[in-house]
Amino acid sequence: MNKKQTSQIMFLAAFLSFLCLQPIHTSSASYPKMTSASYPKNGDSCKYGSSEVVGYNSKSGSGTLVFLRCGKNGIYSPDNSASKIDQKTGKPITAKAIGNTSSDQITNFCQADPKVPAEWADVQSWDIANRGCAEPFRYVYGNSNFIQPKSKVTPDSQLLDINECKLADPQKNSPGAATFPRSPNLFTPSISANFEVIPVQFSDIQANTNPRIDYGKYVDFVMNYLKNTSDVAINPNVSWIDHYLQLGNSIDTYKLGAGGKLSDQYLNDVLNASAKYFDLSNIDQLIIVGPPSTPLSKLYAYMGSLKEKNRSGRTIAVYQYNPTKLQPWIDGQWGFDPNIYVHEQLNHEMGLDDELIEYTGGWGNMAGVMGELLVWDKWLVGFVSDSQIHCVSPTTKSVQWIRPSTLHGNFLKAVIVPLSSSKGIVIESQRSYGYNYKMPKITNGVLVYEVDTTKTMNSHLDGESEGSIGVVIQSIRPKTKNNFFGNVHYGDAALKLGESIVVDGVKISVMESGDFGDVIQTSKV
């Protein structure tokens, strides 16, 4: 994170007191013969987390045969990214690799995505020109119709109680809430996700456009990220004020540029101007947007919160967007890219710390704004449930099948080996799905990292300091600060089939690996 972003995070803590790929394997044997009448249909009820099935893209059953995916709403809908279907046999024509295909030609995380959505093409170009790296702008579904591994896994009866793996922070090192237990005051979309977009203008900078058209794609990107990356159903509710509200003062009055913050005066004026449009007690986060053509030097992105709480007793988060008109980079501000809003507006405001690249490399959204959160972080914020984490003893052998961390569904997503009440080993399976689709296939494998809440990682390579808790990627390969693999820092850290590593007396070995994820064994050395 740059100095500006660091100051924003420090401000959040202070402000709270005032007002917080693997290719898809598609086997025809996976699809039983069905009569035309028995094929499911678009719109039919289904069980969320179930595998893709062949069915009709129309409710009437007279349409085209496609893959149907069961959404979080319990309704089938066509998966347009999946393989083509033979209309006579109902079998897949090809086994299409999703996310890291030869047609995509993604061998370097930072390269331009040839399939970038049209609405983000100009932002991708801006990223490359100003930052030298293009973030992921689409979500790529993995396929759960895979061949299962052959290994016999350890029975659930031998697991430790899940609470033994909920690492605490006895020394209160975490400036956010990146440990257990989570504060009931924190912004938690997995519990409640009500957003209000408040457009504002100033005496000297105004807009006569529709704010939803100006900022809609940014807000939608953030909300889709919530829905796509959480295995726990999140259905964000976003309300918009349909015009820019006049604040009366000039923009310079509020000092929203370099060195500024969401001051008391600014927030009070915003709330007074918008009070009649919504009930604050129903809101989990306010999103403030300004005239889209505002000079970037006068309107930075900031995070904060109100002193008021909503009716559920949680602190109301606040996030100020950058203007949307593309402008040259200023002081590290890159709010033209919606990925920064995911990182700050969602993840930081949910209480997650930055995980510094010197320790975690490029793995996980909190290390570099790229892709999806580590499973540890997903668990903290409620994106995965306790049932998706297996807590195993450091003194006994255990064999576990972990699914790819970015694969949608109620699957086992991580194994944690507790070493103490504040320290543990986290093991997850990485594949180029989801928002990690730009991770080159060469980086895929078993990611092993250690979480130590008694340590604080507080130094950047550039000399900045920050209060991140100790999250350290473990690797059998040498780590150097120039070790970029597929342009991912520590990109070669993931263990491959047959490889193993010993961490604090625990050996982690990869027994099987495939599109299904990885089968790993943990044992005492």
1 in a structural domain = no
The first and second tokens of residue 431, run together, are 């594949």
The first and second tokens of residue 118, run together, are 């049209």
Q: What are the pLDDT digits (tens) for 272-295?
A: 999 999 999 999 999 999 999 999
Same domain, 319 and 363: no
Same domain, 300 and 344: yes
- Whole-number Å distance between alpha carbons of 485 and 472: 18
pLDDT at 25: 27
125 in a structural domain = no
Same domain, 85 and 169: no
123 in a structural domain = no
368 in a structural domain = yes
From 292, 316, 348, give the residue that closes a domain: 348
14 in a structural domain = no
From 315, 348, 381, give the residue that closes a domain: 348
Same domain, 171 and 229: no
Same domain, 287 and 412: no
pLDDT at 467: 55
Same domain, 380 and 471: yes
Q: What are the pLDDT digits (tens) for 394-418?
A: 999 999 999 999 998 899 999 999 9
Q: What is the pLDDT along the chain (525 residues), one digit of tens a residue?
A: 444 444 443 333 333 333 332 222 222 223 334 455 668 888 888 876 555 678 888 876 667 888 787 776 788 888 765 556 777 767 665 433 333 333 356 888 999 999 999 999 999 999 999 888 999 999 998 888 888 899 999 999 999 999 999 998 766 655 456 688 888 889 999 999 999 999 999 999 999 999 999 999 999 999 999 999 999 999 999 999 999 999 989 999 999 998 889 999 999 999 999 999 999 999 999 999 999 999 999 999 999 999 889 998 999 999 999 999 999 888 878 889 999 999 999 999 998 888 887 788 889 999 888 899 999 999 999 999 999 999 999 999 999 999 999 998 899 999 999 999 999 999 999 999 999 999 998 899 999 999 988 887 764 444 444 556 778 888 887 766 557 788 888 889 999 999 999 999 999 999 999 999 999 999 999
Same domain, 368 and 327: no
Backbone angles phi, psi at 405, to 5 degrees: -60, -25
From 94, 126, 146, give the residue that closes a domain: 94
Same domain, 290 and 376: no
Could you tell me which residues come within 8 angstroms of residue 129 by beta carbon, excluding any fewer than 6 positions away? none
How many domains, in total, are found in the chain? 3
Q: What are the pLDDT digits (tens) for 6-30?
A: 444 333 333 333 333 222 222 222 3
72 in a structural domain = yes
Same domain, 261 and 399: no
DSSP 8-state class, residue 30: G
The domain in which residue 430 lies consists of 156-175+354-524
429 in a structural domain = yes
Same domain, 363 and 384: yes
- Whole-number Å distance between alpha carbons of 117 and 124: 10
- Whole-number Å distance between alpha carbons of 203 and 250: 5
Burial (0-12, 13-18, 19+ Cβ within 10 Å), 7: middle
Same domain, 338 and 373: no
The first and second tokens of residue 157, run together, are 């009866």
380 in a structural domain = yes
Same domain, 450 and 423: yes
